Amino acid sequence: MSRVERKNMIEFLELMKGTDPLTFAYMTDHDIEHLYNKVYEQMVFDHHN
């Protein structure tokens, strides 16, 4: 994952989940991508129901 992708995912998660930015410092790219996908899927699911 590029730095820009990671930054964008973190900004999305901060906005949607209200997560402290420092939390992401200890997460791997894989962890952030997994969390991003889960939050995004839930957002899309909620929007369609």
Domain that holds residue 16: 3-48
What would the DSSP string read from start to end of 1-49?
--HHHHHHHHHHHHHHH---HHHHTTS-HHHHHHHHHHHHHHHHHHHH-
Q: What is the mean pLDDT of the chain?
A: 93
Q: Please tell me whether residue 12 adopts helix, strand or coil conformation.
A: helix
Q: Is the pLDDT of residue 16 over 90?
A: yes
Q: Is the pLDDT of residue 41 over 90?
A: yes
Task: Report the share of the chain in percent with pLDDT over 90.
Answer: 80
Report the domain count for the chain.
1
Q: Both tokens of residue 23?
A: 């939390």
- Please report the pLDDT score of residue 46 as a whole number: 87
**Residue pLDDT, tens place only, 20-40:** 989 999 999 999 999 999 999
Q: Is the pLDDT of residue 47 over 90?
A: no
